[in-house]
Structure 1
């Protein structure tokens, strides 16, 4: 009798044989538009078998070029909006069902005006201005998400965490965006700010676009995987993406084994996706890295 009871219990608690295991989509992401070299969405090869493909417009900045001053959360367009216009966004999303388009906020510098600083007057005013201005911009361009890429700060980590976290929460709650990501790199000040944000609002952040190309260009496969695991520990529970600079300026270069490292991460079930900085640089060499990255993400048997 006891044996029968045990069998019955196993049947009751065991999942049906046809229950699907939900695996997060492997995403490919590409920054685009910062260098004004006429690159278009349609120039970039898009593999239809990649579950999600994200373009990230670079950048929207809370800065006024005419007055050369920061604007406390009032964001303006600083990407190539002629080639990457609202109609271009609509067209690429219509032609490719797996494409989403987001906007990256901040960046390193703004023309000859110097560094882009995160410089809020107060948490409440910055969040209010950012929500209003970004909602208008996102609706105008029919965008799907935001990426946070501030790299220089005139604020403490707590202020940064609350401003960005509250902004993401508001935009998601109102259905303005469907995804949010952050783009930190291994610098003490940068990490202090982003880890404060992650600690409080990491549950609202869908991707960590960690800039592994900010490491030295002599990085080896072993070192890259070590860096990847260290940042996965820092941003525990996050979907950390492998990253490549297509101008070969830093990090683990393709010729030194970037795609080999990605394959190892995939074998260990750590590869959530890949992002590339940037389409503007990739145009010169026919987007060869984009093709390799997407082939890797869509095919478990791909060799390179």
Structure 2
């Protein structure tokens, strides 16, 4: 007996859905992202070469919830700007976006240090932290006409559950209010760091668009084969389609662009796993005329 027509239609729908899902999963991305402004080296958006055939995200670094008027804890969700505002101003954001329709600009939260002290995530109250963070960041984002946020806390005094709750609510509220259109996280392979970000990921994966995994936090002696292993490991921790590869401009750690990074990228691209590249940071890249940014974008834009 032949199966009834509705059953055939249902089976056909399953096959089509599976095919589309596999096609989406097996697709490289042309996303390029670059942190800018944290080291106050006078770099401007206009200094950085922008390939028109990539999706380009500048990430202003950093906005930090460090309020010198607060006592005893300065981490109360009241974010302030700690990037080079003289060279990276609201008018310059508007200018670079107007001149390059493929450019979006985000801001990163936290970072490593502020005034030579660790930038801790340490809210005394989740509700007040979220309320203050939504208010202060909305003001900054609207002032600068920004498109998204990146979460780059690297030091914690709050537990993973509190981190997940606060950051998840922050991202969700900013998206619901249409203040931002995307959000990313920037973990690296450290036990405490991973515990916090994986707690956030498991609870809020659906509202996190990109994982700026800091592969440059691995040792400078990292080989291409090890890099691929690291990528596969982190792709299993996070959604593989969202994990971007990365290098650091000053070459002090990780697999560098002069030591095989682009070989690893080409291998991932051949495997349909190259979801994008990000760099830390434009401040240091200025010294070598952004040669690796140019190469990275050319690789991303290439059909092969």
**Per-residue deviation, 1:223:** 0.2
* Secondary structure, counterpart of 1:186 in structure 2: coil
Q: Paired residue for 1:157, among 157, 160, 164?
A: 160
- Alpha-carbon distance change, 237 to 216 in structure 1, aligned in 2, over 3 angstroms: closer
Counterpart residue number, 2:253: 250
Greater relative contact order structure (CA < 8 Å, 6+ sep): 2
Deviation per CA, 1:72-114, whole angstroms, max 9, x where unpaired? Answer: 10100000011100000000000000000000000000123x1
Q: What is the aligned-residue RMSD (CA, Å)? A: 2.3
Q: Paired residue for 1:175, among 166, 173, 178?
A: 178
Deviation per CA, 1:23-60, whole angstroms, max 9, x where unpaired? Answer: 5742100000001111000000000011x100000000
* Contact 2:29–2:300 (Cα < 8 Å) also in 1: no
Gaps of 5+ in 1: none
**Per-residue deviation, 1:122:** 1.3
Does 2:104 align with 1:100?
yes
Q: Paired residue for 2:94, among 90, 93, 98?
A: 90
Deviation per CA, 1:215-236, whole angstroms, max 9, x where unpaired? Answer: 0000000000000000000013
Q: Paired residue for 2:274, among 268, 271, 294?
A: 271
Counterpart residue number, 1:140: 143
After the TM superposition, which residues 1-304 of structure 1 pair with which residues of structure 2 at under 5 Å, given as runs? 25-50=29-54, 52-65=55-68, 70-112=74-116, 114-301=117-304
Deviation per CA, 1:103-158, whole angstroms, max 9, x where unpaired? Answer: 0000000123x100001111111111100110011000000000000000010000
* Secondary structure, counterpart of 2:243 in structure 1: coil
**Per-residue deviation, 1:9:** 6.7
Aligned length: 292
- Alpha-carbon distance change, 72 to 103 in structure 1, aligned in 2, over 3 angstroms: same
* Secondary structure, counterpart of 1:49 in structure 2: coil
Q: Partners in 2 of 1:24 and 1:287 — Cα distance?
A: 23
TM-score normalised by structure 1 residue count: 0.91
TM-score normalised by structure 2 residue count: 0.91
Further displaced range: 90-99 or 116-125: 116-125
- Alpha-carbon distance change, 268 to 116 in structure 1, aligned in 2, over 3 angstroms: same
* Contact 1:206–1:238 (Cα < 8 Å) also in 2: no
Query: Structure 1 segments of 4 or more deviating over 3 A?
Result: 12-15, 21-25, 65-69
* Secondary structure, counterpart of 1:29 in structure 2: strand
Q: Partners in 1 of 2:227 and 2:151 — Cα distance?
A: 23
**Per-residue deviation, 1:292:** 0.5
- Alpha-carbon distance change, 122 to 251 in structure 1, aligned in 2, over 3 angstroms: same
Further displaced range: 246-255 or 232-241: 232-241
**Per-residue deviation, 1:253:** 1.3
* Contact 1:30–1:277 (Cα < 8 Å) also in 2: yes
